[in-house]
Structure formats: structure tokens, C-alpha cells
Amino acid sequence: MNKFLVTAMIGTPLWAQAPAPNSSAGGALPPPGGSIQEDGARAGRAGRGRGPQAPQGPTPRLPDGKPDFSGVWRPDNGLVGDITRILKPGDQILLKPEYEKIMKSRKAGQDPEANCLPTGVPRMAPYPWTIATAPGKLFFLFEGNIHSYRQIFMDGRPHSKDPDPTWYGESIGHWEGDTLVIDTIGFNELFWFDFAGHPHTEKLHVVERYTRSDLGNLVEEILIDDPGAYQKPFTLIAHNRLDP
């Protein structure tokens, strides 16, 4: 068994291993029906605009004055079903021909996330997720798959020269004003970007920029740079909201 999975299972308390609630940013995912790309588009559309409104109020701040991102968040459905729905205006997702064939060959039952494996980055499961803070670190805690987590180092360290490939990679964070910037490398190729089956390679480099403009909203700008699978980088813009 994968060493990461063993570690995650052992480190997860029994109460956290209960099935995640059947909820999402705006509704449960529809069951697969047509092609996986059609199903992904449906999943990305599922329930958009529904559900409770984001709580209102000013941006909470840490003692050092930086925004406090702690809380339980509902993910943008575009990070679940189909990333093309949250593509930055003017950008294009251009797969290399061999990886376009790989995407078209994928079937819903092969989806790693649907088989309770870690989502990878930037994908989200259709359940709330939590941001927790600790000295020199941030943690992203996920209710889906195996209740796994991401660890983001905030202590100023550089990236490792040759990190071992993992589901969530090696994440190094820093502040640019009120924006949290997370730079991640060192991915394996075992996850999909979304339910639609967008692939990637171990050359993947992700830069996430998080801003919390008020109490209830967390905007995530995600630069995807994978010269192995894509013809050029592209950017996604996701809108997450605080779970009231």
C-alpha cells in the first residue's frame, strides 16, 4: 500500500473516518451518465447559485495584522466538476495531443477521487474543507476521500531540490500584502484535475493566490504550469464561501 495512504489512515481519528456529509458548494454531484466530459460539466454546474449566502462582515485578522483564513469553506464547483468553468477570461486550456487522447479515454469509474483517493491540487471534493493555522504552517483539512490534509510551510524555507512525488506536492507559502501565495511542486501523476478528467504530469507547478476580501468570501487564483501535458500555462479563478 502507498506509504502516504498508510500514514494518512493511521493519523486519522476514528470520528473523522465517518462518511462525509452529502453536501457541496451548491448541491450533490449528479451521477455519471454520458461522456465523462459531459458529466464533469454537469458537476461543475450542479447547484450554482443555491445554498446559503456567505456570511457578511469585515475580514478577520491575525494578531500580526494578516488576514485570518481559518474556517470551514465550501469549494467552488468548478474545482470539483470541470475546471473550464472557472478559467480566467482570455485564457485557454490547450492539452498536448497525446494528453488530449488520455483525457478522452478516461471513464468516470476510473476517477481517483471517486475511489476515495486524495484529490491533489487544485481539485476539491464536493464537501466543505477547513483551513487551520499553526506557528509557521497552514493546514488544509479535507472531509472527502480519506480525510487527508495539505501542509503549507510558512517559515521561509526554499523548495527541496528534488522532492518525492506525492498527491499534494511540496507547498511553500508566503505573504504578498494581504494575499497568501502558495507555491507547490513535487506532484505525482495519480490524480485528475476534475471530474472531467483533465490530466497532468510530474512537471506540474501550481501557484495559488488566496484573498479574503470580507468575512464570507475566499477568492483563489490558481496558475497551472505543466509543460509536460499542456501547451501553455493557464489560470483558474475559484470563489469559495465560508460555511455559516
pLDDT in tens, 205-244: 999 999 999 999 999 999 999 999 999 999 999 999 999 7
pLDDT in tens, 17-57: 333 333 333 333 333 444 444 544 444 444 344 456 889 99
Burial letters 118-138, b for 16+ CB under 10 A, else e: bbbbbbbbbbbbebeeeeeeb
Half-sphere exposure of 117 (CA within 13 A, CB side): 21
pLDDT in tens, 49-107: 445 688 999 999 999 999 999 999 999 999 999 999 999 999 999 999 999 999 999 99
Are 8 and 142 within 8 A, CB to CB? no
Residue 14 has pLDDT above 60, yes or no: no
| Confidence grade of residue 149 (pLDDT, cut at 50, 70, 90) | very high
Q: What's the average model confidence in pLDDT over 4-16?
A: 36
Residue 37 located in a structural domain: no
User: For residue 51, what pLDDT is reported?
Assistant: 57
Residue 95 located in a structural domain: yes
Cell 457578511 belongs to: 56
User: For residue 228, what pLDDT is reported?
Assistant: 99
| Type of residue found at 22 | N
Are 25 and 77 within 8 A, CB to CB? yes
Residue 213 located in a structural domain: yes
Residue 111 located in a structural domain: yes
**Which of 121, 118, 106, 79 is CA-nearest to residue 237?**
79
User: For residue 53, what pLDDT is reported?
Assistant: 83
User: For residue 38, what pLDDT is reported?
Assistant: 52
Residue 99 located in a structural domain: yes
Residue 126 located in a structural domain: yes
Whole-number percent of the chain with pLDDT over 70: 79
| Type of residue found at 37 | Q
Residue 41 located in a structural domain: no
Single pTM value for the model: 0.81
Residue 180 has pLDDT above 70, yes or no: yes
Are 79 and 119 within 8 A, CB to CB? no
Tell me which residue range forms the domain holding 79: 61-242
Q: How many domains does the chain have?
A: 1
Task: Look at residue 118 and give its three-state secondary structure.
Answer: coil
Gap between the Cα atoms of 136 and 224, Å rounded? 25
- Among the residue ranges 20-34, 121-135, 160-174, the one predicted with the least confidence is 20-34
26's CB contacts (< 8 A; 6+ apart) are: 46, 47, 48, 49, 50, 51, 74, 77
Cα three-residue angle 140-146-148, rounded to 5 degrees: 20
Residue 55 located in a structural domain: no
Gap between the Cα atoms of 215 and 54, Å rounded? 8
